[in-house]
Amino acid sequence: SQTIHQWPATLVQPVGSPLSLECTVEGTSNPNLYWYRQAAGRGLQLLFYSVGIGQISSEVPQNLSASRPQDRQFILSSKKLLLSDSGFYLCAWRRIGRTEAFFGQGTRLTVV
Amino acid sequence: DAKTTQPTSMDCAEGRAANLPCNHSTISGNEYVYWYRQIHSQGPQYIIHGLKNNETNEMASLIITEDRKSSTLILPHATLRDTAVYYCIAFLGTDKLIFGTGTRLQVFP
């Protein structure tokens, strides 16, 4: 069966510090991978998606970047965090085609 | 992918059916209707999807109008654990997966 791992669950970082959130998927190959952010009380905002190794599409200009160094690994990064980067970050995967998406448990990031 | 419109919030008594509407008047012929829900502080969970015909699974039923411009998600016997934000998405199956703001369903005792 397929599983998705996202860590850490919570993170408190100072303004200006770097960020690295990792997401890995097991039990499938060549998944579509997604990073979303959810600000407090708001909806899900698509940040990045990837259809293959090294292929990243950015949806919203921002202080973040994403990389996919391996088929089932998706990394969200920032060189210098801003207060506005605080939020609930979710990783998701789905097979190509009209298939459902599966989400990780999320990382709650607080920038102080 | 077509835009969807959902009410901001709804209430439902425990044990009663919860009927969550979704408008997707610009849906194209090959876009499916997907429903997800997000319980507080968790990642969204897939519920059900359909194209034209009504669909039912162990979680819910999906009723799609004949013109496909709207649909209704039915939770037949709502429980307190069904309190969540419910998202309706018209999805072509391409790479992007965009969520709207959803409906916040509150099930009360």
Contact assignment for A101 to B42 by CB distance below 8 Å: no
Q: How confident is the model at residue A106 (pLDDT cuts 50, 70, 90)?
A: very high
Q: Identify the pLDDT of residue B62.
A: 98
Average pLDDT over residues B94-102: 85
Question: In this model, does residue A91 exceed pLDDT 90?
Answer: yes
> Cα–Cα distance between A98 and A72 in angstroms, integer?
20
Q: Which of A46, A100, A108 minimises the CB distance to B98?
A: A46
pLDDT of residue B25: 92
What pLDDT is attached to residue A34?
Answer: 95
pLDDT of residue A56: 95
Token readout for B76 is: 């037949």
Do B70 and B19 meet the contact criterion of CB atoms below 8 Å apart?
no
Q: For B11-70, how does the pLDDT look when each residue is reduced to its tens digit (9 = 90+)?
A: 999 999 999 999 999 998 889 999 999 998 899 999 999 999 899 999 999 999 999 999
- Which residues, other chains included, contact B58 with Cβ-Cβ below 8 Å and sequence gap of 6+? none
Longest Cα pair distance anywhere in chain B, in angstroms?
Answer: 41
The answer to whether B29 faces chain A, any CB pair under 8 Å, is no
pLDDT score of A42: 85
B95 pLDDT exceeds 80? Answer: no
- Residues B79 and B81: their CA atoms lie apart, in Å, by 5
Q: Is A5 on the interface with B (CB under 8 A)?
A: no
Check whether A31 has a pLDDT greater than 90: yes
Asked if A70 has any chain B CB less than 8 Å from its own CB, the reply is no
Mean pLDDT computed over B77-106: 91
- Cα(A47)–Cα(A57) distance, rounded to whole angstroms? 9
Model confidence at B94: pLDDT above 80? no
